[in-house]
Amino acid sequence: MNEQVEKLLANTSDETFTTVARGVLDDESAKITSTPIFEEITTSHADQRTIGIVKVSGSATSNGTGRDWSCVVKIIDPNFDGTHQTSADIKNEVQIYELGLFTGDEVPLRAAKCYLTENHQDGLSSLWLEDLSNGPQPPWSVGLFKTAANHIGQFNGFHVAQNTKLPIDILSNNFLWRHQRNDLKANAAELIQKRDTDIVRAAYAESSVESAVQFFELVAQLLEIGPSLPRGLAFGDTHARNLFPVGNQTIGIDWGTIGMEPLGCDFGVLIGSGLSYGVSEAALVIQKRASHLRLLCRRTLFKKLER
């Protein structure tokens, strides 16, 4: 565990634990009865400013009954040097939790519950969030992808229909900024050049290098027409590791990239996320969804060009 994270947790007051436990148990009179236990969550995450994610669990009395409680605390270093993300991401994420946005019943996609936000003297920030550590983890089944996609679609459609205006400054066309950090043509050329190396052969054991190059070409075309497409409020980072399809709803974390994006952008991130982590996830997308994605990309492009 990161040394800063260990120190921060060791210095956490009983008052903080009590506040969080009361939020988890939904009981303002609950009292903690044991020293909380810490368990680091080591799942991969892309934001290098997140220096620790820790499950915190303990017990408390609530309405005269002993009850267990748990949450996940996310510790952020906003001043970390070297990350590709912007300070607006963290500011927006904290504000969304503090303002209680996206927690209503209008659509089945909602933000994780946040019990407490803290800013510390050393510049670190803590978000005490709903414990989703037992939720579905990638690699997902096709059924979970369908469920999450359905809930994302309802989220996007609802906010387009409502013309939702948020009380915070949000990003716009962030998908362009993300992709412009990569030279797709150069990546394709390098892939072709190194196709006979062990690492490329292993990475493309379930598909062909040519299909990847074709995919790069389709992405480049979509990036070109994307800014002119109709836009709406989007989650922005609908990676499968940020979503937890549970029952009849999907719970989202990492809301810092909320913004105005081309309609369908959230679907693209969800489908593409399976290519980002691990052979098993990539194989699932390749076998079950790659052909549909290529068809969708072509249809979107052709419809736009016909106008």
Tokens of 221: 């075309």
pLDDT tens-digit profile of 69-119? Answer: 999 999 998 776 554 455 567 789 999 999 999 998 889 999 999 999 999
pLDDT at residue number 253 = 94
C-alpha 18/C-alpha 24 separation (Å) is: 10
Contact 242/155 with Cβ under 8 angstroms?
no
pLDDT at residue number 158 = 96
Q: Please list, in sequence order, all residues whose beta carbon lies within 8 angstroms of the beta carbon of residue 34, skipping any fewer than 6 positions away.
A: 58, 59
C-alpha 151/C-alpha 226 separation (Å) is: 23
pLDDT at residue number 83 = 47
pLDDT tens-digit profile of 170-202? Answer: 988 888 877 777 788 888 899 999 999 998 888
pLDDT at residue number 180 = 72
pLDDT at residue number 137 = 87
Query: Does position 281 have pLDDT exceeding 70, yes or no?
Result: no
Query: Does position 28 have pLDDT exceeding 50, yes or no?
Result: yes
pLDDT at residue number 204 = 82
Query: Does position 299 have pLDDT exceeding 70, yes or no?
Result: no
**Bridge-based pairing state of the strands 31-32 and 50-62:** antiparallel
C-alpha 68/C-alpha 52 separation (Å) is: 23
pLDDT at residue number 290 = 47
Task: With CA atoms as reference, report the closest residue to 43 among 166, 167, 137.
Answer: 137
pLDDT tens-digit profile of 201-238? Answer: 887 887 789 988 998 888 888 888 988 999 999 999 99
C-alpha 304/C-alpha 264 separation (Å) is: 14
